[in-house]
Amino acid sequence: MIKSYFTKLSYYFIILFVITSFANAKTFYSIKDGNWSDKSSWSDIWWGQAEASTIPTYNDTINIGSGKTIILDKNVELFNGGIIVIDYGRLEFLSGTLTAHSNKGSYVQVGEFGSILNAGQQTGWVIGELRLFVGDGTAKRDLFFEVGSLDLYNPFGISFSTGTDAVTGYISMELISGSQNEIKKPVSIDMDRLIGPKFWRLMQPEGSTFVRGNRNFDIKIFAHPQQDEAYVDSWACCEIGYLRSWTNNFDWQALWPDTTGSIQSGMGCEDTRALIRPIPNFAYFGSYDGNNSLVKICVPNIPTSIALGSSEKIGNSILLGDFIAGNENQIFAGVEGKNPEKAIPAPIYSNGIVTFSISNDQVNSVSIYNSFGETCKIDKSSIKVNESSLSLDTNSLPSGVYFLKVENMVQKFIVVR
């Protein structure tokens, strides 16, 4: 009897807490350019009205518009239905992350004329669900999701070309963290060389009117070199793929660079799978310091014959694709099955030896490349070809992953300082 009484009392307090939480939710409006933590940046009455007595909190509806810029100078967390809508306004990251718990009804939505500025590893990013507006097919539409996990900024880009039968609407992106062991082995990506988060999850939110129509699209994912380089034999050999369905059937779509064009100047698009030294399909953003630098892996001009999404639902949203990235299963093509046998020591600190299954009289060409496919300048006198082996002095090379190419055979080696 007493236990039953306290159980009912506990339920009562839980229900009271939930009702109180939602009852206290407010709607805030940006009324001037300013910091998030400054209550004079906000009104809880209407645009341009009196200053709010507090700043927005976790379950509020926050409207950033009227051409105002709100600077995120603190960590902000949204749940219990709290949302941010950015229309005709800007949210600029400075020193905080923005977390929107999608499983608790929260998200960040950026309209056609809204924007997010200055996101990055040092300044902050969106954790959780970020919705962006996609226009119709009369012009190319470039979308950039400023998202990341708890620790790392891993943005995602998708561009839609012009095309017919397209309808405006919102699509959303959320990074999913955790183990990737449950993924069945795709045919094109080595599951031991996956990079980035578990998934970049692209969805069509409930109520969105978005229709892809007859539009090709480009995909761009971003990885951290020092974080992911251990899983990559060569950034030039990375591919993207995505899962359209999990429950009814395992619907896997492999993607790889082709020869149909490029995304930006200098971004050549090659089918790298059969090349001995693949042409890099990446670009740097920022300096190579391990924190601000990102490698971009992209696949352009994906045709309408490749579907984006199916009927799979996650909650009330439609899954467009759970995207993953990683090194290809087949990295380099050898000649008649003859490949380097080993490089010792591993790693190499100053001098190393690479053995081959060919004799030295067959060796006419020797080159060294870094993990980005760039040729390394090295004194030729530091390379000595002996009987079925090659001696290599690496003192002029900084720490990193390298590839030694002898004729049409390639051996990976690591230099540590």
CA–chain centroid gap for 288, Å, is 18
- Cα 260 from Cα 302, distance rounded (Å): 9
Could you tell me which of 68, 115, 63, 116 has the C-alpha nearest to residue 94? 116
Q: Which of 156-160, 254-258, 259-263, 331-335 has the highest mean pLDDT?
A: 156-160
Per the CB < 8 A criterion, the answer to whether 115 and 145 are in contact is: no
Check pLDDT > 50 for residue 78.
yes
**Distances in whole angstroms, Cα of residue 387 to Cα of each of 76, 265, 339, 391:** 64, 44, 15, 10
Residue with token string 């004194």: 379
Per the CB < 8 A criterion, the answer to whether 308 and 211 are in contact is: no
Residue 7 identity (one-letter amino acid) = T
Check pLDDT > 60 for residue 153.
yes
**pTM recorded for the entire structure:** 0.73
Mean pLDDT of 156-160: 95
Higher pLDDT, 341 or 203: 203
Could you tell me which of 228, 224, 254, 238 has the C-alpha nearest to residue 321? 254
Secondary structure (3-state) at 184: coil
CATH 2.60.40, the chain: domain bounds: 342-415
Sign of CA dihedral 97, 21, 109, 104: positive
**Distances in whole angstroms, Cα of residue 383 to Cα of each of 364, 393, 396, 406:** 12, 6, 12, 11
pLDDT tier, 235 (very low <50, low <70, confident <90, very high otherwise): low
% of the chain beyond a pLDDT of 70 = 68
- Cα 351 from Cα 340, distance rounded (Å): 17
Higher pLDDT, 22 or 316: 316
pLDDT tier, 362 (very low <50, low <70, confident <90, very high otherwise): low
Check pLDDT > 50 for residue 259.
no
The DSSP secondary structure of 238-305, one letter per residue, reads EEEEEEEESSSS-EEEEE---SS--SSTT-----GGG-SSPPP---EES-SSSSS-EEEEEEEEE-TT
Could you tell me which of 38, 112, 32 has the C-alpha nearest to residue 72? 38
**Distances in whole angstroms, Cα of residue 185 to Cα of each of 254, 258, 405:** 11, 23, 29
CA–chain centroid gap for 117, Å, is 17
Q: What pLDDT shows up at residue 338?
A: 36
pLDDT digits (tens, 9 = 90+) for 279-321: 333 443 443 444 457 877 777 788 898 899 988 999 999 999 9
**Contacts from 65-70 at CB under 8 Å and sequence distance 24+?**
65/29, 65/30, 65/89, 65/114, 66/29, 66/30, 66/31, 68/30, 68/31, 68/32, 68/33, 68/41, 69/33, 69/117, 70/30, 70/33, 70/34, 70/35, 70/36, 70/41
- Cα 168 from Cα 166, distance rounded (Å): 7
- Cα 279 from Cα 190, distance rounded (Å): 19
Lowest-confidence range among 96-105, 129-138, 378-387?
A: 378-387
- 284: which strand partners? 295
Sign of CA dihedral 28, 30, 31, 36: positive
Fold classification of 342-415 is: Immunoglobulin-like (2.60.40)
Residue 342: how many other CB atoms lie within 10 Å: 12
Residue 386 identity (one-letter amino acid) = N
Per the CB < 8 A criterion, the answer to whether 348 and 393 are in contact is: no
Check pLDDT > 50 for residue 389.
yes
- Cα 60 from Cα 82, distance rounded (Å): 5
